[in-house]
Amino acid sequence: MSKPLAIIAIDLPAGLLEDLRRSVTPLLTGPDPAAVHAALPRAHGILCSALFPLPAEVLAQAPNLRVIANFGVGYNNVDLEAATARGIAVCTTPGVLSGAVADLTIGLILAIARRLFDNARYAREGWARGLPPPPLGWDPAGKTLGIIGFGRIGRAVALRAQALGMEVCFTDRFEDAGEGFERCRSLPLDALLETADVVSLHVNLDDSSRGLIGARELALMKPTAWLINTSRGAVVDQAALREALAAGTIAGAALDVLDPEPPAPDEPLLAMENVIVLPHIGSATVETRAAMREMAVRNLVAVLTGRQPAACVNPEVLGR
Ligand code: DGY
């Protein structure tokens, strides 16, 4: 029997590619959008970045597709309803990247609190010239972190923040976060925004979270508070954020994600003094990316060989 055909739209190390070839024939390897689109009509599976757009009209070009194995935990790149209607399993890589994203979030809290970027710039440009240093930083201990979205990543952030002595509150669909999280206080969104010194976003992007943080929500935050976004850019209304930052409605923002990515060269957030922008590096460590690649390959192969994938967001299509 011939092996299923798959588009591998990310670079894989030779060993992993060899493993994959035992059960699947790659139609192409590497992130070349034109080649991916050309191969879609023949493909039974695709392994791609969680940022590679697969809207309904693209899925319509892929009549044989049975699985989208995203390299990442997000799946807002896929039209989930269209994929489900077509019987395409949408798989992701949750869990293996929670620590890396949480570490980055904590890194941003410390960078904000201790003015690391300001001080690094001052050391380069002002220290030797005897210019006055940046103002003092602040201690995270005793401050309140408000976590919006208390899933795997939100919880990993909470544990790390508690180790820094921060109070943690969260907003999610549930109020009881369960064992190990008794000291994390559940609050409705508005109360969390009013309370937190740092607000950190850890939700999936979907219709319920698009534009979740807009002008009204930013106005509820303390003028001294910071917003951290390591989830998806479109969770925040970026125009409203620019206005709030310019007006001093909030103190600042640290953004690992923007909408769109990459941003336009003249995106004002890139030039604002009270904004830290990073180029979507939440999972960007050697170990985490390796674990994500392996999980994505396992998901792809599992569906294409009739087995249960480790993580599928529309399991109702499996076994159809
Ligand atoms: C994810 O895992 O979704 C990361 O943000 C990469 O896209």
Q: Are 318 and 294 in contact (CB under 8 A)?
A: no
51 CB near ligand 1 (under 6 Å): yes
Is the domain of 92 the same as that of 104?
A: no
CA-CA-CA-CA torsion sign (251, 256, 155, 116)? negative
The domain tally of the chain equals 2
Is the domain of 128 the same as that of 270?
A: yes
Is the domain of 124 the same as that of 81?
A: no
Round to whole Å and give the CA distance between 44 and 24: 9
Domain residues for 235?
Answer: 98-277
Is the domain of 124 the same as that of 260?
A: yes
Q: What is the SS3 assignment for 275?
A: strand
pLDDT in tens, 136-167: 999 999 999 999 999 999 999 999 999 999 99
- pTM strictly above 0.85: yes
Given the residues 261, 287, 307, 316, the one annotated as active site: 261
Q: Look at residue 1 in the predicted model and tell me its pLDDT.
A: 74
97 CB near ligand 1 (under 6 Å): yes
The yes-or-no verdict on residue 51 having pLDDT over 90 is: yes
Is the domain of 145 the same as that of 184?
A: yes
For residue 130, the domain's CATH number is 3.40.50.720
DSSP 186: E
The yes-or-no verdict on residue 217 having pLDDT over 80 is: yes
Residue 282 in any domain: the answer is: no
Round to whole Å and give the CA distance between 29 and 13: 11
Residue 98, phi-psi category: left (phi > 0), alpha (psi -120 to 50), beta (remainder) = alpha
Residue 280 annotated in active site: yes
Is the domain of 297 the same as that of 247?
A: no
Per-residue burial over 146-178, b if 16 or more Cβ lie within 10 Å, else e, is bbbbbebbbbbbbebbeebebbbbbbbeeeebe
pLDDT in tens, 159-186: 999 999 999 999 999 999 999 999 999 9
Q: Look at residue 160 in the predicted model and tell me its pLDDT.
A: 98
Given the residues 86, 114, 115, 280, the one annotated as active site: 280
Is the domain of 107 the same as that of 88?
A: no
Mutating to test ligand 1, I would choose from 68, 92, 97 the residue with most ligand atoms within 8 A of its C-beta, which is 97
Is the domain of 110 the same as that of 259?
A: yes
Count the Cβ atoms, other than its own, within 10 Å of residue 80. Answer: 17
DSSP 250: S
Please give the backbone phi and psi of residue 21, each rounded to the nearest 5 degrees, phi first.
Answer: -60, -20
- Mean pLDDT throughout 11-27? 97
Query: Residue 313's closest CA among 4, 99, 131, 70?
Result: 70
Q: Look at residue 320 in the predicted model and tell me its pLDDT.
A: 74
CA-CA-CA-CA torsion sign (109, 115, 121, 123)? negative
CA 22, chain centre distance (Å): 32
